[in-house]
Structure formats: structure tokens, C-alpha cells
Chain A
Amino acid sequence: MGDALRRAESGTQLLARLEGRSSLKNLEPCLFAEEGSPVHGDVIEFHGPEGTGKTEMLYHLVARCIIPKSGGGLEVEVMFIDTDYHFDVLRLVTILEHRLVQSTEEMIKQCLGRLFLVNCSSSTQLLLTLYSLENMFCTHPSLCLLIVDSISAFYWIDRSNGGESLNLQEMNLKKCANFLEKLVREHHLALFATTQTIMQKSTSSAESFFPLKLQHEFDTDYRPYLCKSWQQMVTHRIFFSKQFNSGNSKGFTVVSCHLKKNNVVKRSFSIKMSFLYSAKSVLHS
């Protein structure tokens, strides 16, 4: 009797499951190491030092999602949680204007109507906001992309508030990560989150708290510092870095790793007004 009760779902959950969310398969094929990514339930982490194009890439993805199908986009709604107070609507509008064939004010407003933006100023507020957003995911079936920029914004403040106990320090983020996983699973979303490289990579691996297991982690400047719950729910990790070529200071490199299948792809891109993409891929697994 108890099992049957637990398996019963609410009416809205049933609707969400049956109506289905739009496919995000063609979101950005160059960015992923695997064909047909991202699928629903994927959690993709953007990791990199400052000024390497993570937020630009997010603008590019958002533009691709909110542009109508007639303009070459996916026509889905996006929920953007901004913890850095960094989001620049005017920059997004510039990108949209360059992407759309007829960039009238009407069209831009219509596209922007598919974007929802929330600002959070602490990890507690982030957790409470996620709880209150759950209702929105039920009522908006076309909302299939959730972006958190960035999820590591409260790391030092949480660490200082937690005092000596590691559990207390990580408690808020752990709860956020668990709830995000529940949201992604139940409402069939894809989650993109950025994390910042705020730790220097330790020279001796004995010092690092989380041992580096995968090959790609030795190549890039990656030192995991967020809680284990978050580390375990990430399915793709994409590393951003600057290219230090002699003449070209505007190039960026992206190393995309599919964590479960251990595929790695390396590409480079440059940012122009409408975000041009030059892909040189080096594939190794």
C-alpha cells in the first residue's frame, strides 16, 4: 500500500511526463564529445578561469534556444539563475540582432519572452529559489533548459560560515545539488552550470582532497573543490582556456569530456559579434 502511494505522481507531473520536453539534441553539436548530446537529464559543467568565454558560450546557447524555429533556433524556454549578478541582457540582444534575419523590436521581445532570469545572493536563497521554481517547471512544458551561472559563487562565504566542520560548509550546496538533480530528473531538463577555477592545481596529487582519476584532469588546470554530491551528478565537463598564440589573443580552447564514457574532444573557437565558431577537433578517448 505504501509503495503504490509513493509511486503515484501528481497530475502536473503526469502531464509533464506525457507531453514531453522538446529535444535539445541539436543545441550545439560542436561542444560535445558525443553525438546526440545533450539529452534530457544531462548535467553539463563549464569550468575555467576568468575571461575564457564561459558566459559568452551561455549567451550563445540561450540565443540558440529562444530564437523561433523559423529563425533557425529551437524555440524553447530557458531558466537562467544568475548568482554572480553578471548577466548582460543588452549583450544578449546584440547577439540576437546579429542572428535573426529580421531583427525587429517585436521579434527581439518575442524571443526574450522565452527567457526567465533570477538573481540569487546567497546559497540559502538559491535553495529556496529552487524550491519555489519547481512550480514553474510544472506549468511551463516548453521550459527545458536550466542554467546556473555560477554554482561556485558562494564557495568562500559558505566555507567561512561553516566554521571547522566540512559538513556544515558544504551543506547548502549539497542540498542545492540534490534538489537540482531531482528537478532535472523529474521534469526532464538539461542543466548547464559554470564553475570558476579558484583553486590552484596542487603539484602533488597526494595533497588534493579528491584524487584525480581521469586522464583529462591531468592535462587541464582542474582541481575539484565543490561537494561530492555535485561532482557525482555531472555528466559532461567542459574546460575553457585561453589560447596563447603569438598573434591571436582572441582565441579560446574548449576541452569537452563525457565523464561516463571517458571521451574527450578538444576544439578552439573565437568570439566575434555573432559568435563565429571555428572548430578544430582533436579526438582522443
Chain B
Amino acid sequence: MSPRSAPCPTRCLSARQALVAVRRVLLAQFSAFPANGADLYEELKSSTAILPTGSPSLDQLLDSGLYTGEVTELMGAPGSGKTQVCLSIAASVSLGLKQHVLFLDSTGGFTASRLYQMLQAQAEDEEEQAVGDTALSQLEALQRIQVARVFDVYEMLSALQEVRDRLSQQAVSCTGPLKTVVIDSVSAVIHPLLGGRQSEGLAIMMQLARELKMLAKEFSLAVVVTNQVTRDSSTGLLKPALGRSWSFVPSTRVLLESKGAAWEEATTRRSASLAKSPRQPTGMQVELDIGNSDVQEPSPATPTEGL
């Protein structure tokens, strides 16, 4: 038997210890930590807010407004008023609460002039400020709404990543406290990816969904998305587009429909019904008026003698 040194027990022990230490470090870095329910409740009590949508009847439908930390979906056929409601939400949050709004537009339906019209209409309702201040406050409200035009899903994901980076750094920049993200519409960027036998489209959709929900939960944002509708083949009811997997994503879903038959003259009345809600019974319905259906050129607000 050739002489050889006996295996050193201390060396074997330290190798195992090193392995255990590496495992502990990896787990600490990559696994999620459990939070206690009581701590979470304390945190949520201070950070959750309910944002008004600009329309009292819609607020009533949503149990007093949009809840932060959740994804709310507005679904409807083309022309049912989804973009108008989104503009109204942006105007209300910016003017009323003086909070920042991020508007991701993927359909090209965003018009600043229509938004300005809504701001003017909402400012008139408030009657709080002196006449001279309204023009300035409306301009400031416009500045608080940031619009990004994203026409495919990768641009949308990178826009959301940018928001996440900004919020993580908590830099007090010109963007200020962001409370609302409005996405009009999510079906325009996801629909081209679906179909066919590959599952990559569905994977990207679920990645976008997860990103939206994580943003909403971690930074206490209210996320509003719009979606198309399709008709269910078996029951004949309207259901949201983008399939079953997407239907699990929003916590609240509102269906917007035109009132009145197609052959009647164009009306601005719409009906909003609650299709899914974690707090209210579904089936509630309210009427909305989305204002003038054609966008007029706004007359610029003239400063008065007070300025």
C-alpha cells in the first residue's frame, strides 16, 4: 500500500460549511421574504389611496374610485368611450389631487386638446380658485400628465421598466409622485402576438401582466388598462379580449357600452356596468355622458386683468 496522508477531516468540514454558507447567501439574495400581516396592514393603511375618476357615477360603480395597488380594466367595443374615460381619469387625478399621471398611448387616440377641454370642464365644476388662477392651474395639470406613445409590446415593457427605475430611486425629479398609470390600450399591443401554436405571445402577455401588477402593488399605483371585447360563443355574452389567461389579471372590470341602437343619431350617452369586482356585487350599471363626441378646437384661456 503506497503511503499517503490521511484525509484531513477539518478540510472536509470546511468544504461542507462553505457549501452551506453559499446556499444561505443565495437564498437570502434571491428568495422572497415573508411579511407579517399586521405590518402589511399598517403599511397599506397609509399608502393606499382611492382616486376619483372625474365622473361621480363611475366612482360609485367602483366603490368610490380607483384603488391603488390594483389593476382596473375598462373593456368595450370601439367607440364605446374608453379613451374618453381614460382622459377623464388623467385630468381628474392631475387637477384634483395634483398627482402625476403616466399615459401610455398605443392607439394614437390621445389628443391633448381634448384633455385640455376636460381639464377646463372639471376646473369649472370646482369653483374654488380665482378666475386668474385657473389658466395657470390647468397648465400645471397638463404638465403633470406624461404621455408616451408606445406601439409595440417591447416599447411598452421598456417604458414600464423606466417607470420602475425612476420610482425605485425615489428621485424627486420633475415627475414627482406618480400615482396612476393609464394604458390605452393593452389589446392593441398584445393582440398581434397571440394566435398560432407558439406560446411566446402568451408568455410576453403574462410578463406584461406581471410587470403591471408588481408596479401596482410595490409602488401603490392605480393601473388602468383598456381592452377590446369579444362575444362568448356558448353564452353570447360580451367578454374581454386577449383570452382566458388575461382575464385573471385585472381585479376590477368595467364594461362600457353605447346606449341606444345603431340607427339612431350619434349620442354621447354610454352605460358602464361592473363585470368583476373584489368589493361590490357585479351587475351594477350606471350611465355616463362622455361629452361632445367631436373634438372642438379649444379657445385658449385668456388671462384676465388680475394676472
Contact = CB atoms under 8 A, between A and B. Distances in A.
B40 A86 contact: no
A159 interface: yes
Interface stretch (B30-38, B90-98, B142-150): B30-38
Contact of B199 (A50, A91, A160, A271): A160
A118 B34 contact: yes
Interface stretch (B3-11, B123-131, B202-210, B255-263): B202-210
A117 B37 contact: yes
B32 A50 contact: no
A115 interface: yes
Given A157-B203, A159-B203, A91 B34 contact: no
A62 B205 CA distance: 31
Interface residues of A, number: 54
Interface in A107-127: 108-121, 124-125
Contacts of A153: 206
A116 B34 contact: yes
B70 to A, nearest CB: 8
Contact of A198 (B27, B37, B245): B245
Given A84-B248, A156-B206, A156-B245, A116 B35 contact: yes
Contact of A120 (B32, B205, B235): B32
A89 B217 contact: no
B48 A117 contact: no
A196 B213 contact: no
B71 to A, nearest CB: 9
Contact of B281 (A108, A112, A118, A250): A250
Interface in A29-52: 49-51
Nearest to A272: B281
A52 to B, nearest CB: 11
Given A125-B32, A244-B235, A50 B27 contact: no
Interface in B223-253: 235, 244-245, 247-248, 251
B282 interface: yes
B300 interface: no
A111 B36 CA distance: 11
Interface in B25-60: 26-28, 30-38, 40-41, 44, 48
Interface of B: 26-28, 30-38, 40-41, 44, 48, 69-70, 199-200, 202-203, 205-207, 210, 213-214, 216-217, 235, 244-245, 247-248, 251, 276, 278-279, 281-283
